[in-house]
Amino acid sequence: MRSAEKLSWCKRALLLALAVILLTGCSPGSQVILIEAPGCTKCAAAQRVLDEVLPQYPDARLVHYTYYTDEGHQVILDYNVKDVPSVIVGQTVIGYKSYDGDGDKLKAMLTAALENRSPEATPDQPADEAPLDSQALKDIQPSSMATVFLAGLLAGFNPCLLAILAFLSSTVITSSGRSRDIIPLVICFSLGIFVVYYLFGVGLFRIFQDWQSMASSIRLFLSLLLVFLGLTQIEDARRLYGGGRSLFKTDWALKYFQGGVSGRRLSTYFLMGALFSLVKAPCVGAVYLAIIGIISSDGYSSAALLYLMLYNLGIILPVLVLGGVMAMGMSPESIDRFRHDHRVSIRVATGLTLIVLAPLIYWQLI
């Protein structure tokens, strides 16, 4: 009988000890989660605050989740996270908007959460609040959208584009004798440019995001590249002004497009636009890299994709507008004459813009 009582007492003691271990291991302050984005300077600032606070709490363990991974997405859904960066302590969610970049405020909120004093939010918040990517779309500023669109417009309106467009339009009119046949050429040609640049931008954006540890090096590389390409544009303007040969000559590509235009097939027009986007890369690549470098520090993929779309719409808008003007009667020769008369000023404006962008990107002023 005594042995049975002893065994029962041992079982109770064992269960009690196990419960204490489980409760201790699951205490709200034992795990701190940081939701972050690669290359995000706000996330790096939050990390610095965590490095300062967490050593005071030896039982706290920091776990990192990148917002777009499967694990990160699940944590975002579980805790109804709306900001990047966000810090989760137990059931407390501290989003970026809660402290708005104020390191001292974040430190106080972290300390309170670790000491279980003032929870900010829990996973069972109202379900009608916007999820992370929806909130990101609401946070997109019209001024930022306009800046990205105008940057695409600047990149798209260049002598390379005008030369090719005038040549293609002239070939279409010569082969068919009708100006309205320019419209399907322009639409499909523009679509080819848009698709290639958009896919390229998405791929490069993801690469930049994956290189979190190299964010500062990428900014330095982009800044130096912009300065170099800006100076190249200005040197090209100097050459053209003195009657020399352009560094960005695209005449060599014209013979490859002429045969395709004469076939008057929509798929061929699309393919020519896709191929021309590669030929046009030296003309627009610098500004595009700059824009991707800027938006790669944004914590939201939905906002970044929207910015890429706006930029590429800006690139193809001059093609659509000029194509429409020529379809209404303006001769391709007039477009080519305008290109020749203003190519120096366009080069200088592009070069100066690239040089001004370089320090703004490096010091993250835009």
Strands 86-89 and 31-36: antiparallel
Instruction: Assess whether pLDDT exceeds 60 at residue 211.
Output: yes
Instruction: Assess whether pLDDT exceeds 50 at residue 200.
Output: yes
Instruction: Assess whether pLDDT exceeds 60 at residue 204.
Output: yes
As a whole number of angstroms, the distance between CA 176 and CA 72 comes to 57
Nearest to 311 by CA among 294, 299, 298: 294
As a whole number of angstroms, the distance between CA 124 and CA 121 comes to 8
Ramachandran angles phi, psi of 35, nearest 5°: -90, 120
State the number of CA atoms in the 13 A half-sphere of 202 facing the CB: 11
Q: Is residue 230 a contact partner of residue 352, using CB atoms and an 8 Å limit?
A: yes
Task: Kindly report, residue by residue over 95-140, the tens digit of the pLDDT.
Answer: 888 898 888 999 999 988 888 754 444 444 444 444 444 444 445 5
- 3-state secondary structure (DSSP) of residue 60: coil
> Among 47-51, 120-124, 140-144, 156-160, which is the least confidently predicted range?
120-124
Instruction: Assess whether pLDDT exceeds 60 at residue 236.
Output: yes
> Among 120-129, 146-155, 172-181, which is the least confidently predicted range?
120-129
Instruction: Assess whether pLDDT exceeds 80 at residue 150.
Output: yes
Instruction: Assess whether pLDDT exceeds 90 at residue 169.
Output: no
> Among 12-16, 108-112, 145-149, 222-226, which is the least confidently predicted range?
12-16
**Other CB atoms within 10 A of residue 61 CB:** 12
- 3-state secondary structure (DSSP) of residue 95: strand
User: How is the beta sheet containing 92-95 ordered, strand by strand?
Assistant: 61-66, 31-36, 86-89, 92-95
**Whether the model pTM is above 0.85:** no
Q: What pLDDT sits at residue 122?
A: 42
Q: Is residue 308 a contact partner of residue 302, using CB atoms and an 8 Å limit?
A: no
Q: CA separation (Å) from 9 to 18, 21, 23, 174?
A: 14, 18, 21, 101
Query: Where does the chain have alpha helices with state H?
Result: 2-25, 41-53, 70-79, 96-99, 103-114, 132-139, 142-156, 159-176, 182-210, 215-241, 254-263, 266-279, 281-295, 301-327, 332-362
> Residue 50 — very low, low, confident or very high, per pLDDT cuts 50/70/90?
very high
> Residue 284 — very low, low, confident or very high, per pLDDT cuts 50/70/90?
low
Cα-based angle 90, 96, 100 (whole degrees, multiple of 5): 130
Residue 199 tokens read as 């896919």
> Among 65-74, 115-124, 206-215, 258-267, which is the least confidently predicted range?
115-124
Q: What is the mean pLDDT of the chain?
A: 75
Query: How is domain 25-131 classified at the CATH fold level?
Result: Glutaredoxin (3.40.30)
As a whole number of angstroms, the distance between CA 119 and CA 31 comes to 15
> Residue 289 — very low, low, confident or very high, per pLDDT cuts 50/70/90?
confident
For the chain, the domains span: 25-131, 140-362
